[in-house]
Amino acid sequence: MEIVTETEKLIDEKLRALLKVDKEAWTLDEWVLGLYSIYRKHDIKSMPSDIWLQVVNDASQLAEEVRRENYKPVSNEEGVLRQAVKMFCWMCCFVGKYTHEKAQDLGVNDSIGISLVTSHSSDDFAGGDETYSKWIVLKFPGVCPVCGNSPCLCPSYAEMVENRKVDPRYEKFKGEWSKNIENAKREFNKSENTKDFRTKSLNQLIKFFSDIYGGVHLQMNLDRICFHLLEEVGEVSDELLYLNLLKQYQEDELDKKFKPVFYESKGRIQGISPKLDEQVNKVSAEKSGEALGEALFEFIRTSNIENLKGELADVFSWLCAVLHKLDCLIKPGVVKDRPGSFSFSRQIENHYKNFHGDFACPVCEKAKCDKLCLLKNLTAKILNKKNKKLSS
Ligand SMILES: [Zn+2]
Ligand SMILES: [Zn+2]
C-alpha cells in the first residue's frame, strides 16, 4: 500500500477547499497548488532540470504554433493557447514542488531542495511566505523594473534600454528610474498592498502585466514576444545548470576543487558584499583560500537561488505578454468565452478535466495522474512520429 505523506495530506486538504471555489477566482499560487497536486506523483521523483525540460518542450511547441499562426481555442488539439496552458501547468508543477515539499521528501540529491522557501531576497520588501506571486511582486512592484513606470516607458528609449550596461546616455535616467522603483517598492511595503497583490486572480495578474506593458506589446508582433519568452525560459535553464554544477562540486571535495576557481575570481568580487570583502581581506592576510572558498560558495548559491526566482517571474511576465497579444489577435467568437477577452483560467480549467468534468489529468483522467501516464503519452508520441515517417 502506498504511504500518504504529511505533505500529501496537507495538499489534499487545501485542494478540497479550493475546489469549492470557482476556478475563475483562483490565484496564481492556488493554480500552483492545484496543478501540482495532479502531477505530484511523478514530479516528486524528478530532478529540477527534468521538470523544467517539460517547460522548455512546451515553450518550443508554443513557438512552433506561433510560427504556424495557429491561434485556435484550447479545445483544439493544437494551437498557441493550448500550448500556453500546458506550459503554464509545468511551470506550476516546478514551483509547486519546491514550495510545498519538505526536505525529507525531496531527497539529498536534489540541487534545489528546500532553498526556494528558506532563502529570502536581499531586498524582501513584500515579506511573508515564499511563493510564485511573491517572486513576481519582488521583480515587478507594480511598475516596470527598468524604467520604474506604469505604463512602461522603455520603448521610447528602446536602444538605450537594450544596451543600458554600456550606453553612457543611461546614466542620465538611471537615478530617476531607480527612485521610481524604490517608491513603488515602498508602496508594496504596506502589508495590505502585498496581500491585495497575492489575492489577485490569475486573470487579474495577467491584466496587471498588460496594464504595465500593454503599450509595449502593441508595437511588437507575437513572434517577437515569443522570442522574449523563449529567452527567459533559457535563463531559468541557465540557473538550474549552475545549481546542478554547484551541487556536484559540493559533493565532490568542495575545498580542493572550489578553492582555486574562487581564488581566481577574487579581484571581481570585491565590493559586491561586505561579508565577502571581509573574507577577501582575511585571505590576503592569511594566504589561505579555504574560508574564502566557503564564503563564496554560500554567496554564489544564494545569488543563484535569488536569480532563479527572478527568472521564473520573467517567464511568467512574458507568458502573460503572449496571452495579452493573443487576446488582441483572436477574433471575437473563435474562443467560446468571448466577446470581451478570453479567460486564461477558464482555458486551463477546460483542459485539466476528466470525462465527468472533474479537475484531473486530461490523459489518464485521474485526479492524481498515474505514474505510467507520462510514459504512455510519450510512447504514443514517439510511435506517431515513426508512423508519420513511414507513411511519408
Ligand atoms: Zn520600462
Ligand atoms: Zn495522467
Q: pLDDT per residue over 318-343, tens digit each?
A: 999 999 998 888 765 555 544 346 78
Residue 150 CA to ligand 2 center (angstroms) comes to: 41
Q: Strand, coil or helix: what is 26? A: coil
Distance CA 137, CA 149 (A): 14
Tell how far the Cα of 32 is from the centroid of ligand 2, in angstroms.
17
Q: Using CA atoms, how far apart are residues 232 and 227, in angstroms rounded to an integer?
A: 9
- Closest ligand to Cα 39: 2
CA–CA distance, 169 with 372 (Å, rounded to integer): 57
Q: How far is the CA of 242 from the centre of ligand 1 (A)?
A: 29
Q: Which residue spans within the chain are E strands per DSSP?
A: none
For residue 89, report the distance from its CA to the centre of ligand 2, in Å. Answer: 13
Name, in order, each residue with C-beta under 8 angstroms of 112's C-beta and a sequence gap of 6 or more.
Answer: 48, 98, 106, 243, 305, 308
The pLDDT score that the predictor gives to residue 340 is: 43
- Report how far residue 160's alpha carbon sits from residue 143's, in angstroms, rounded to the nearest whole number: 19
Residue count of the chain: 392
Q: Which ligand is nearest to the CA of 378?
A: 2
Round to whole Å and give the CA distance between 303 and 306. Answer: 5
Give dist(CA 323, CA 320) in Å, integer. 5
pLDDT at 390: 66
**154 secondary structure, DSSP code:** G
User: Residue 141 Cα, ligand 1 centroid: separation in angstroms?
Assistant: 12
Q: What are 4's strand-pairing partners?
A: none
Mean predicted lDDT score pLDDT of the chain: 86
Q: Which residues make up the environment of ion ligand 2, defined by Cβ < 5 Å? A: 361, 363-364, 369, 373
Helix count (H) and strand count (E) of the chain? 18, 0
Measured CA to CA in angstroms, residue 373 lies from 56, 326, 331, 377 at distances of: 20, 30, 35, 6
- The strand pairing partners of 93, in sequence order, are none
CA dihedral 79, 82, 88, 89 (to 10 degrees): -140
Point out the least confidently predicted range of 119-123, 154-158, 254-258, 382-386: 254-258
C-alpha cell recorded at residue 257: 576543487
Q: Report the alpha-carbon distance of residue 335 to residue 71 in Å, rounded.
A: 10
Cis link prior to 141 (omega < 30° from 0)?
A: no
pLDDT at 94: 98
pLDDT in tens, 27-71: 999 999 999 999 999 899 899 999 999 999 999 999 999 998 887
CA of 147 from ligand 1 middle (Å) equals 4
Q: Tell me how crowded residue 155 is: count the other CB atoms within 10 A of its CB.
A: 15
Q: Which ligand is nearest to the CA of 213?
A: 1
> Ligand 2 mean position to 43 CA, how many Å?
12
Residue 294 identity: E
Q: Which residues are bridge partners to 359 per DSSP?
A: 353
C-alpha distances in Å from residue 160, one per residue of 13, 166, 225, 226: 51, 9, 19, 22
pLDDT value at position 242? 92
What per-residue confidence (pLDDT) applies to 255? 54
Residue 90 Cα to ligand 1 middle (Å): 28
Check if the beta carbon of residue 160 is closer than 8 Å to that of residue 170: yes
| CA–CA gap between residue 8 and residue 183 (Å, rounded) | 41
Q: Tell which wins on pLDDT, 111 or 276.
A: 111
Closest listed ligand to the CA of 354: 2
pLDDT digits (tens, 9 = 90+) for 80-116: 989 999 999 999 999 999 999 998 888 888 999 999 9
Cell of 125: 520588501
Alpha carbon 337 to chain centroid, angstroms: 27
Separation of 215 CA from ligand 2 center, angstroms?
39
Ligand 2 centroid to Cα of residue 267, in Å, is 52
Is the pLDDT reported for residue 384 higher than 60? yes
Query: Could you tell me which residues come within 8 angstroms of residue 24 by beta carbon, excluding any fewer than 6 positions away?
Result: 201, 203, 343, 345, 346
- Among all ligands shown, which has an atom nearest to the Cα of 317? 1
Q: Is pLDDT at 194 greater than 80 in this prediction?
A: no
Measured in Å, residue 213 CA sits from the centre of ligand 1 at: 8
Closest-CA residue to 38 (of 79, 74, 73, 89): 89
